[in-house]
Amino acid sequence: MNPEALQTPIDYLKGVGPNRADLLRSELGIHTYQDLLNLFPNRYLDRTHYYKIGQLQRSSSEVQIVGKVVHLKMVEQQRGKRLVATFVDDTGQMELVWFRGHKWIRESIKLNTPYVIFGKANWFNGKFSMPHPEMELLSEHKASLRSAMQPIYPSTEKLNNKGINNRVVNKLMQQLFVETKARFYDTLSVDILKELNLISKAEALVNIHFPKSQELLAKAQWRLKFEELFYIQLQLIQKNITRKHKIKGFNFDQVGDLFNEFFKQHLPFQLTNAQKRVIKEIRNDLGSNAQMNRLLQGDVGSGKTIVALMTMLLAIDNDFQACLMAPTEILAQQHYNSILTLVNDLRVNVKLLTGSTKTAERKVIHEQLLNGELDILIGTHAVLEDKVQFFNLGLAIIDEQHRFGVAQRAKLWEKNEIPPHVLVMTATPIPRTLAMSLYGDLDISIIDELPPGRKPIKTVHRYDSNRLKVFRFIRDEIAKGRQVYIVYPLIQESEKMDYKDLMDGYESIERDFPKPEYQISIVHGKMKAADKDYEMERFVKGETQIMVATTVIEVGVNVPNASVMIIESAERFGLSQLHQLRGRVGRGAEQSYCILMTSHKLTNDSKTRLETMTRTNDGFEIAEVDLKLRGPGDIMGTQQSGVLNLKIADIVKDNDILKTARYYALKILKDDPSLSKEANKVIRYTYAQMAKHRNIWNYIS
C-alpha cells in the first residue's frame, strides 16, 4: 500500500459519506485514512467467553450469549413504548429491550435464527434483561474480521447520539483494512526491528485493532509506542544538532578581568560542585561558535542567580551586552537588587526596566543601551518593546521561562542580526521524562545541591485541631528574633470565600498576637500595588514579624530571617506550589520549618501530596510525584499549548520506552546526522512523510 494512499480523505471510505465525515473531522480530528488508522483503542473487552443464560450472575459485567429471538412485542409505558424480544438458548430465556429505533429493529431481526448478543445483563422483576444489545448473526460473527479482544475506541457524546457508536467505528476500521488489504510499509529500520525484537508495522496495526491474543496486543502496543516516541525524539535531537551547526553564535573566547576578579575577590561563598559543573557547561557552549540554547534547572535557593551573573560577566568581558528577563516586577526588582549588591565593586553598569520605570529613566536606559554604555539590563516584558534596542546583545537570560510565550521569546532574538546566546532558568523542577520530551532540543544543566551551610527545611503536617500548639511554636520562634509567613490559598473559583478565610484568619492572628508586642503585615490580590510594596518592605526590613498573605509571595521573595512558613488549607494547593512556597524559608543559616495545616477531611491525592512534602525536600522527586498525580498536560501548562498530543504513548507510564527511543534516536543521528545511509532509508522517508503531513507535532521551545 503506497503511504500516500493513506492521505485519502476519510469521506471516500465505504460506509462514511459526507455527514459522518464531517462528524469524524469535528469530533475526533479524523481527516484521512491515516488518521482513522491512528485512532487507537483505549481499552479492550475480552470476548473469548460465551455464556449460557442459565449461568448468568447478578453482576453488572458485559456478557455475550448465543441464542435465538422467538418472540417480539411492543409494550406501552408511561412515556412512549418499548420493544421487547424473548431470547432463548438451551438453558433458559431472557428479555432484550429497546427504547428507541423500534421500526428498524423490528424489520431487521430474524426470528428463530442464531444470533450472538453482547451487552450488560440486568436482573429485573425476577428475570435477566439486556437493554440495547449489540446483535450479530452467528454466521456473520464467525466470518467477520474481528478478534476475541474487542477494542473500545475513544468517542464523544455527539458521535453516540448521531449513531456513530463503537460498533460503527469498528466496522469502519474493518473496511479500512479490507480496502488497504492491511499492507502497511514499515517505518523503522531493519536494525532497530532486529535489535529490539519488534513485530512489523503491519502486524502491529492489525493486532492493535483486532488483537489475536493478549500477548500479541502487548507486542503491538510496545512497537507503536516506541515508534511514536522515537520520531519525536528524532525531531528534537535533529533540531538541536541543526542549531549547533547552522545557527552561528558569538564566540566568547576570553575569560576576562571582570569574571576573574569577581570569582577571586567578590564571590560571597564557595561555589558548589554543581554550580562549577554548570558554569563549565555554559563556558563550553559560549566558546563553540554555535548559539547556546540551554535550560538551567535548579531548586529554589540553589544559587542560579550567581551562575546567571557569571555568565553575564563572560559576555561583558567579550564586549557584549546581556539582559535578564523575569515574569513579574517583584522578581525583576529582586534580581536587580541582588545583582547590584554582587557587582557593587566592579565596573559594571546595571539598570532595571519594568512597567513602572519613569519616563526620564527610560530615556537614559534607551540611550545607554544603544551607545553600548549599559552592560546589563534587567527587566520584565517591558524589555521586549520595539523602542528597546541594544548596541550588541550577546546573551539573553530568561527566568521562569514557562511564563513567556514563544512569540515573546522570538522578539528577543530579533534584537540582533545574529541571535544572542540563550540561557533559560527555572526553579520549577521538570521531571527528566518531561524535560526529554518538552525541551529535548535544549541542552539541560541541573544544579542539584544547595549551597553549604543551608540546613534542610523541616516539614510537618498538622490538623486544625493542633492550632494552639502551632501558635505557641510561632511565639517561640519570634522570641528568637525570627519572622513567620502565614499563607492562605486563593483560587479563582472561590475568591470571595478565600478572601473571607484570609480576613478571618488575619483577625484571629491579631487576637493571638496583639500589638504593640507583635506587628503584622498583610498582602493580598485586592490591594493596590503601592500598598503591597509598602507591606512587603516592612517585612523585609524586619519591622513586622508576621506576614499574612495569599500566594502572591510564591515567586522570589527573599527574607533570610524568615524561618517559618505556615500554609493554611494545604490540601488545596498543588505539590509544585507547596514546594515553591516552602522555598521562601530556609534562606538563612538558621533551622527553618514548614507547617502544613489541613482539616481532617482529605482525599487520597491530598494525602499523597502531604506525605511527599513531609518526606522529601528534593524538587525533582516532588515533580515526579506531581507528574503522576496530575499528568503531563497540567504541569507545564502544556494542555493549552497543544504540546504532547500523543496518540498511544503515555509520558508517565511509558518512561522506559521513552528512554529507549531517545537512546536509538541519538545513536542513529550520531552515526548518520542527515539519515543518508542505506540502512536508514526507511527512517528518512517516514520522517519526511510525517513532516509533510504534519504528523510530528512541531513542539517546543
Distance between CA atoms of 74 and 99, rounded to whole angstroms? 10
Per-residue pLDDT of 74-86, as tens digits, reads 998 878 889 999 9
**Is the predicted pLDDT of residue 617 greater than 80, yes or no?**
yes
Residue 56 backbone phi and psi in degrees, to 5: -60, 140
Q: What percentage of the chain has pLDDT greater than the value 70?
A: 91
DSSP-derived secondary structure for 646-680: -SS--TTTTHHHHHHHHHHHHHHHHH-TT--SGGG
> 696 falls in which pLDDT band (50, 70, 90)?
very low
Residue 638: which pLDDT band, with cuts at 50, 70 and 90? Answer: very low
State mean pLDDT over 306-328: 94
Cα–Cα dist 150/128, whole Å? 23
| Buried b or exposed e, range 648-680, using 16+ CB within 10 angstroms | bbebbebbebbebbbebbeebbeeeeebeeeeb
pLDDT, one tens digit per residue, over 135-177 is 999 988 887 656 677 898 998 888 888 889 998 999 999 999 9
Q: Is the pLDDT of residue 668 over 90?
A: yes
Q: How many other CB atoms are there within 10 angstroms of residue 634's CB atom?
A: 14
Q: What is the pLDDT of residue 554?
A: 46
Check residue 243 and give its pLDDT: 76
Query: Given pLDDT bands bounded at 50, 70 and 90, which one contains residue 637?
Result: very low
> pLDDT tens digit string along 172-209?
999 999 999 888 989 999 999 999 999 999 999 999 99
Assessment of whether the complete model's pTM goes beyond 0.85: no
CB 570 within 8 A of CB 589: no
Measured from the Cβ of residue 701, the count of other Cβ atoms closer than 10 Å reads 17
The letter for the amino acid at 247 is: I
Cβ-count burial 281-301 (b if 16+ within 10 Å, e if not) = bbbebbbeebbbbbbbbbbbb
**Predicted confidence band of residue 692 (pLDDT cuts 50, 70, 90):** confident
Nearest to 322, CA basis, from 271, 284, 376, 263 = 376
* Beta strand spans in 121-216 (E): 122-124, 127-131, 134-137, 149-152
Give the CA distances from residue 284 to residues 58, 311, 439, in Å, rounded to whole numbers and listed in that order: 70, 11, 20
Report the pLDDT averaged over residues 229-242. 87
Those residues with Cβ within 8 angstroms of residue 251's Cβ, 6 or more apart along the chain or in another chain: 286, 287, 288, 289, 318
> How far is the C-alpha of 543 from the C-alpha of 541, rounded, in Å?
6
Q: What CATH class does 458-616 carry?
A: alpha beta
Q: Are the C-beta atoms of 486 and 505 separated by less than 8 Å?
A: yes
Q: At what angle do helices 329-342 and 304-317 cross, to 10 degrees?
A: 60
**Closest C-alpha to 548, from 486, 497, 608, 598:** 486
Which of the two residues, 273 and 699, has the higher pLDDT score?
273
Report the C-alpha gap between 653 and 637 in whole angstroms.
Answer: 19
Question: For position 643, what pLDDT does the model report?
Answer: 46
Per-residue pLDDT, 173? 95
Per-residue pLDDT tens for 439-468?
666 788 888 887 777 788 999 999 999 999
Residue for cell digits 547556546? 292
Cβ within 8 Å of residue 563, ≥6 positions away: 477, 482, 483, 484, 585, 586, 588, 590, 591, 592, 593
Higher pLDDT, 337 or 494: 337
CA–CA dist 568, 578 (Å, integer)? 11
Per-residue pLDDT for 477 more than 50?
A: yes
Compute the distance between CA of residue 68 and CA of residue 76 in angstroms, rounded to an integer. Answer: 24
In CATH terms, is domain 48-146 a member of 3.30.930.10?
no
Looking at the DSSP bridge assignments, the partners of residue 223 are: none
User: C-alpha cell of 606?
Assistant: 491530598
Rounded CA-CA distance 260/693 in Å is 52
Checking if the pLDDT of 349 tops 70, the result is yes
Q: How many Å apart are CA 75 and CA 488, to the nearest integer? A: 60
The arithmetic mean of pLDDT across residues 595-620, rounded, is: 91
- Residues 610-619 have a mean pLDDT of 91
Q: Give the pLDDT band (50/70/90) at residue 228.
A: very high
CA distance 611 to 571: 11
Q: E strands of 414-561, at which residues?
A: 421-426, 443-447, 458-463, 483-487, 520-523, 546-549
> Domain spans of the chain?
48-146, 257-286+303-426, 458-616
Q: Which residue type, as a one-letter code, is found at position 215?
A: E
The answer to whether the CB of 645 falls within 8 A of the CB of 228 is no
More reliable by pLDDT, 477 or 588: 477
Identify which has the larger pLDDT, 659 or 227: 227
SS3 91: coil
Q: What are phi and psi of 534, to 5 degrees?
A: -60, -45
Contact assessment for residue 302 and residue 244, using Cβ atoms and an 8 Å cutoff: no
The strand pairing partners of 83, in sequence order, are 74, 98
Rounded to whole angstroms, the Cα distance separating 442 from 423 reads 10
The cell for 658 is 521513552
For residue 117, give the C-alpha cell: 448478543
State what percent of residues in the chain have pLDDT above 90.
Answer: 48
How, if at all, do strands 376-379 and 350-353 pair?
parallel
| CATH homologous superfamily of 257-286+303-426 | P-loop containing nucleotide triphosphate hydrolases (3.40.50.300)
What's the mean per-residue pLDDT of the chain? 86
Domain 257-286+303-426 identical in fold to domain 458-616:
yes
Place of cell 514546594: 579
Higher pLDDT, 575 or 691: 575
Confidence (pLDDT) at 120: 86
- Tens of pLDDT along 377-408? 999 988 988 889 999 999 999 987 655 655 66
The pLDDT of residue 518 is 94
568, amino acid identity: E
Determine the Cα–Cα distance for residues 509 and 523; give it in Å rounded to an integer.
Answer: 14
Is 533's pLDDT higher than 70?
Answer: yes
Cell 564566540 locates to 251
pLDDT at 482: 94
Closest CA to 408 of 424, 394, 392: 424
Q: According to the model, what pLDDT value does residue 435 have?
A: 74
* pLDDT greater at residue 176 or residue 624: 176
DSSP notation for 574-607 = -HHHHHHHHTTS--SSS--EEEEEE-S---HHHH
Residue 589: all three cell numbers together? 543559616
What's the mean pLDDT in 578-594?
A: 87
pLDDT for the residue numbered 59: 67
Q: 633 is written with which cell numbers?
A: 498536560
- Long-range contacts, stretch 473-481, CB < 8 angstroms, 24+ apart: 473/564, 473/593, 473/595, 474/513, 474/546, 474/564, 474/566, 475/513, 477/563, 477/564, 477/593, 478/518, 478/545, 478/546, 481/561
**Alpha-carbon span 184 to 204, nearest angstrom:** 10
Residue 622 has pLDDT above 60, yes or no: yes
Better-scored residue on pLDDT, 661 or 438: 661
